[in-house]
Amino acid sequence: MDGLGRRLRSSLRLKRGRGGPPQDNVGAAVKELERTPEYSLPNFTGGQHFFEYLLVVSLKKKRSGKDYEPTITYQFPKRENLLRGQQEEEERLLGAIPLFCFPDGNEWVPLTEYPRETFSFVLTNVDGSRKIGYCRRLLPAGSDPRLPRVYCIISCIGCFGLFSKILDEVEKRHQISMAVIYPFMQGLREAAFPAPGKTVTLKSFIPDSGTEFISLTRPLDSHLEHVDFSSLLKCLRFEQILQIFASAVLERRIIFLAEDLSTLSQCIHAAAALLYPFNWAHTYIPVVPESLLATVCCPTPFMVGVQMRFLQEVMDSPMEEVLLVNLCDGTFLMSVGDEKDILPPKLQDDILSSLGHQKGEFQPSEQINEHVSGPFVQFFVKTVGHYASYIKREANGQGHFQERAFYKALHSKANRRFVKKFVKTQLFSLFIQEAEKSKNPPAGYFQQKIVEYEEQKKQKKSKEKTVK
């Protein structure tokens, strides 16, 4: 296990290689792992295809033994006109997906009842492009004991709320016939992904129900469309969320534990989203398959989700400086011990005060997302929002970050101590490298909040002068 743990430097990264038989794809993909920036979902302006594949993954009994193995039993669309190199890479991608659709192992028995689960995973290709698997696991229609199956939509777009609605439509049609799913997905594939705040309407015919019109709307503020903070708030107190954030900011190892796949994937996406405008650049696996549990032995930073049934394997693994979060009962089973001291005390109080304000008075997910994310964005505005002023540019436009002058510009000693550590992280390094390349600050949500904060400070100074 230790040897495998050393090889697991990141979430699944699919590499080119000689093509092998389909049954070898999972093994080859799992063995060919290396470090890569994993949690970074691009912002889409609109116009792209919604998805690449709709897959049905079913459990098929192995030829030897009683165990089952997940297998792709349906694929839309078929990819028949790919070049050989493209076919090999697609085969590796498709060969790895079943492992993540059934991460909880192969020991299954036919069931008559099974609660549906909605979860997701992220795969990174050799060229750095990312694909997200949106999954709905449920029992097929029937009354006899049967095995669950997974509907998995593969897309390069991070928009979890929207794809959850698409899975609702797929589930509704699967109760009738697989044949009814095809025209709906064909219509979706022909539609253009909407711009932020816009809606696309699909026309779909369902036997005995007639023609339906399905509207899919993207949030206007697209930087949070890939996350829903509701599960995180149900499982943990604000103080605990703050400690998880502090651990992530210093790029430590964080393991989330939960019974169900939905809670795991939603909570880990939410924890990573708290880092906006920075991107988690290390191992990131929302739900770790049983065969990859050695990830928790990895000596580099990681953020992973593990099902509670594998708790003993996790506890038996050699781990250092790990925050082990039990989402079932809202406790930390392991911690470093200094999580409450990482962030400046005054800014911690500001975050908690903002989070506690108007608690429970809002319901829509967009309001919850903004309410939870806002205080953490403000934290970065107050600590590193002045970064652009400390990028000195040459005549050719290339920028050079003045690190020492940057953190010395902070008046608060506590803020300065924190930022001196934070600038050494890969989170900050990758962010500042992009800023050095760009001649102008990006016109995004973070920059908007920086401008608002600077304007508030000017107004405050102006009022103080007037009073004097």
Domain segments of the chain: what residues? 2-195, 365-467
User: Can you read off the two tokens belonging to residue 17?
Assistant: 């290689």
Which residues are CB-contacts of 202 (< 8 A; sequence separation ≥ 6)?
Answer: 184, 187, 188, 191, 213, 214, 216
Mean pLDDT of 132-161: 90
Four-way CATH pick for 2-195: 3.30.450.200, 3.10.20.30, 3.40.50.2000, 3.40.50.300: 3.30.450.200
**365-384 vs 345-356: helix crossing angle, rounded to 10:** 160
- Do 200 and 194 form a contact (C-beta atoms < 8 A)? yes
pLDDT digits (tens, 9 = 90+) for 329-374: 999 999 999 999 999 999 999 999 999 865 555 566 778 888 899 9
Higher pLDDT, 370 or 29: 370
Distance CA 136, CA 114 (A): 12
Question: Tell me, what's the pLDDT at 190?
Answer: 87
- What pLDDT score was predicted for residue 233? 93
In this prediction, residue 406 carries a pLDDT of 96
Rounded Cα gap, residues 59 and 152, in angstroms: 14
Distance CA(354)–CA(243), nearest Å, equals 16
Higher pLDDT, 379 or 197: 379
Mind listing the pLDDT tens digit for each residue in 303-334?
Answer: 999 999 999 988 988 888 899 999 999 999 99
Give residue-wise pLDDT tens across range 283-304: 888 999 988 888 788 888 999 9
Among the listed residues 358, 368, 374, the one whose alpha carbon sits nearest the alpha carbon of residue 233: 368
Strand partners, 60: 69
Closest CA to 319 of 339, 341, 338, 304: 304
Average pLDDT over residues 160-179: 86
Q: What is the mean pLDDT of residues 429-444?
A: 84
Strands 253-258 and 302-307: parallel
Length of the chain: 468
Sheet strand arrangement including 117-125: 13-14, 117-125, 130-138, 149-155, 53-61, 68-76
Q: What's the gap between Cα 95 and its chain centre?
A: 21
Task: Take residue 263 and report the two structure tokens written for it.
Answer: 């809670």
380: pLDDT strictly greater than 70: yes
* Mean of pLDDT over the chain: 82
Which amino acid, 153? I
Residues 219-227 have a mean pLDDT of 75
pTM of the model: 0.83
Checking if the pLDDT of 2 tops 60, the result is no
Sequence letter at residue 306:
V
Q: Which pLDDT score is estimated for 328?
A: 96
pLDDT band at 468 (very low <50, low <70, confident <90, very high): low
pLDDT, position 22: 34
Which of 81-90, 148-157, 392-401, 411-420 has the least mean pLDDT? Answer: 81-90
Residue 72: pLDDT band (50, 70, 90) is: very high
pLDDT band (50, 70, 90) for residue 44: low
Q: pLDDT grade, residue 27 (50/70/90)?
A: very low
Percent of the chain scored above 90 by pLDDT? 44
Q: Per-residue confidence at 206, pLDDT binned at 50, 70, 90?
A: confident
Q: For the ranges 40-54, 154-168, 259-273, which has the lowest average pLDDT?
A: 40-54
Question: Taking a C-beta distance cutoff of 8 angstroms, is the pair 449, 378 a contact?
Answer: yes
**Picking from 5-14, 76-85, 227-236, 320-329, which range would have the lowest pLDDT averaged per residue?**
5-14
